[in-house]
Amino acid sequence: LIKNHRDLIDAEYVLNPDGGGVDLDHGKAVSMDVDATEKLYGDYQLTVTNPGGHSSLPVPDNAIYHLAGALVRLQHYQFPFELNSVTRAYFERLSSLETGKKAADLKAITQPNPDPGAIERLSQNPEWNSMMHTTCVATRLQAGHANNALPQLAQANVNCRILPGHSREETRQQLIKLFDDPKITVRYVNDAGDVFDTAPDRKQLPPPPLNPELMSAIEKLTAAMWPGTPVIPTMSTGASDSVYTNGAGMPSYGVSGIAIETDDVRAHGQDERLPTESFYRGLDFYYRLVKMLSGGA
């Protein structure tokens, strides 16, 4: 659409229903999140080849061992801490909603010289960790061709979620440096599953400015449907079509009225589910939001 029919979709800004939403804590709404930016998605194929041989004659040079060593290094590696305008504002706002040590830590990481101890403690929360760092994790493995043969091939898929301001190729180079093993090849895998020796070097765009008209409408509607619930701009740790519309110059925001318990997020799982009430209330939210933004009653 962007390439061939831009005139049909050209807009001042874009509402993306696949982002944002209401966080629940035991049925109580605690925040309405609006995705003002998102991380960049990248898949990388790690490959190790070997002459192989009969399993009765093992040798130290084993493709699976090389790959396993690289994945252990990845397991214990943390990409550098980094905040952008959206995540800094998010943690600042969150610090005013929390209490005690957690509130102090949230405030400490937004200072000019962030406290390393606070970063380490907050990184124990998977969502906050992903908002503070680029993350890469092994998601698939395959190796060998027979139970009684030394492996000639071992491969893993590493899925990365890259902070704005960095590129897929930059991340590929970081992985190569981390593994520090000439036997391991790191290639980029695009959305279609095609594998390339290098990755796109275009950096994820910085967050667009928040649209005052949109934010005002979301705040009014949130106050009506979930009284007392703060509206907090945030960064999605996932990926959506906003990467395309943002890249085309249309500021894009993840906005949703779907409410989910913070300890019951099952996105992409085989047991992914959504409460029926949340689904229908989310539809009502969007209907009312679009009416407000289009001048309806």
What residues contact residue 121 under an 8 Å CB cut-off, 6+ apart?
101, 105
Q: Do 74 and 115 reside in the same domain of the chain? A: yes
Number of structural domains the chain divides into: 2
pLDDT surpassing 90 at residue 203: no
Q: Do 144 and 188 reside in the same domain of the chain? A: yes
Tokens of 101: 């040590």
Last residue of a domain, one of 196, 215, 241: 196
Q: Find the domain containing 14 and state its range.
A: 6-38+206-293
Q: Do 97 and 76 reside in the same domain of the chain? A: yes
CATH assignment of the domain containing 281:
3.40.630.10
Quick one: average pLDDT of 213-217? Answer: 95
Tell me the pLDDT tens digit for each residue of 243-266.
889 889 999 999 999 999 887 777
Q: Do 32 and 46 reside in the same domain of the chain? A: no
Q: Do 25 and 62 reside in the same domain of the chain? A: no
Q: What is the DSSP string of 214-233?
A: HHHHHHHHHHHHSTTPPEEE
13 touches 252 (CB < 8 A) = yes
Tell me the pLDDT tens digit for each residue of 168-193.
999 999 999 999 999 999 999 999 99
Last residue of a domain, one of 174, 196, 218: 196
Asked if residue 201 belongs to a domain, the reply is: no
pLDDT surpassing 90 at residue 88: yes
- pTM, two decimals, is 0.88
Last residue of a domain, one of 149, 169, 196: 196
Q: Do 107 and 180 reside in the same domain of the chain? A: yes
Q: What percent of the chain has pLDDT over 70?
A: 99
Q: Do 210 and 272 reside in the same domain of the chain? A: yes
